[in-house]
Structure 1
Amino acid sequence: MVRLQDENLLSIGQLARAGGVGVETIRYYQRLGLMALPARPSGGGTSGGTRKYGPPDVERLKFIRLAQAAGFTLKQIDRLIELDATSDRVEVRQMARNRIEALDVQIKELKRARASLNRLADRCDDTEGGPCPILKAFEA
């Protein structure tokens, strides 16, 4: 019989699916200290000694994934998690501004690469003889 408090608990596989990651990703986050490693339950019953994860673990996993999508490194995410337990908005805001600056640099580089590739694509005309300028540019 499942205890009422166990109804919302997940196996590591279920947690991985809920967060859209693999089990090994969760284990990696645990090794880094980004996620807690729950204790193995003792005793018999249906748990079979399987670690169980609750809603806070799902929230933490989603936080990590969203922060990664915003471009934060795992080390930065670790710091964001630490700051979440404090009221230090100044550092969090500065980390976000630094990330925005880095994104702006990446955007400029991507725009430059796109413009360059557009120029090469325009010059790569089927009617002209010789190698395509795109391929020549990649050989250099």
Structure 2
Amino acid sequence: MKIGELAKATGTQVETIRYYEREGLLPETSRTDGNYRIYGEAHAQRLSFIRHCRSLDMTLDEIRVLLRFKDAPTENCGEVNALLDEHIGHVAARIRELRSLERQLKGLRDLCQEARDAAHCGILNELARQGSEGGSSAAGHVHGAHGRSVERKSINDKRK
């Protein structure tokens, strides 16, 4: 099958497939005389495995390790267990970070119980005060697993 057919069969965007190929997660494919990549069922299964790992928020490096063991089925899977235990730790840390963020946001929300003019909005005033103090504002930062302040939007992306 061609890349478009693989994309459709696995629900994966073509550019994502190409990215996984560049990252070495998908093996090289044979090509037609017209230089089109030709994929087989093994590619579809591997891509589905990768997508499932990504849905579990695993990094590409973690997936590489898992694929290495998947490709060597007689190897001892102790390292796989350790990898998953470490990943569970990362998830637990993120949950704590997100709960802290939720508490901060609820604290901000409690500062403005009714709609009023923006000049007297408790939320806006507190965000401005925290921003001018150089502290981390509740809506914009959380502390990462290593104690660094991390942009909230990057909580999901900081572990690649």
- TM-score class, shorter-chain normalisation, is 0.7 to 0.9
Which residue is 2:36 aligned to? 50
Residue of 112, 122, 133 corresponding to 2:122: 133
Bigger fraction of residues in helix: 1
Structure of greater relative contact order (alpha carbons < 8 Å, 6+ residues apart): 1
Bigger fraction of residues in strand: 2
Given that 1:13 and 1:23 are in contact with CA atoms closer than 8 Å, whether structure 2 keeps it comes out as: yes
Which residue is 1:6 aligned to? none
Q: Which runs of 5+ in 2 are unaligned?
A: 132-160
**CA shift digits 1:56-95 (9 cap, x unpaired):** 1111111111111212111221111001124321100110
Question: Using the alignment, how far apart are the partners of 2:45 and 2:27 within structure 1?
Answer: 12
Given that 1:123 and 1:133 are in contact with CA atoms closer than 8 Å, whether structure 2 keeps it comes out as: yes
Q: Which amino acid aligns with 1:23?
A: V
What's the CA shift for 1:41?
Answer: 3.0
**CA shift digits 1:35-64 (9 cap, x unpaired):** 02211134xxxxx55322122111111111
Given that 1:12 and 1:53 are in contact with CA atoms closer than 8 Å, whether structure 2 keeps it comes out as: yes
Which residue is 2:156 aligned to? none
Q: Pick closer, same or farther for the CA change 1:82–1:128 going to 2, 3 Å.
A: same
Question: Using the alignment, how far apart are the partners of 2:45 and 2:6 within structure 1?
Answer: 10
- How high is the TM-score relative to the length of structure 1? 0.79
- CA RMSD between the two structures: 2.0
Which residue is 1:99 aligned to? 87
Aligned residues: 126
What's the CA shift for 1:128?
Answer: 6.2
Q: Which amino acid aligns with 2:103?
A: A
Given that 2:112 and 2:122 are in contact with CA atoms closer than 8 Å, whether structure 1 keeps it comes out as: yes
Summarize the alignment of residues 20-39 of structure 1 with structure 2, pairs less than 5 Å apart.
Answer: 20-39=11-30
Q: Which amino acid aligns with 1:101?
A: G
What's the CA shift for 1:113?
Answer: 0.8
Question: Using the alignment, how far apart are the partners of 1:16 and 1:138 within structure 2?
Answer: 44
Q: Pick closer, same or farther for the CA change 1:17–1:126 going to 2, 3 Å.
A: same
Q: Which runs of 5+ in 1 are unaligned?
A: 1-9, 43-47
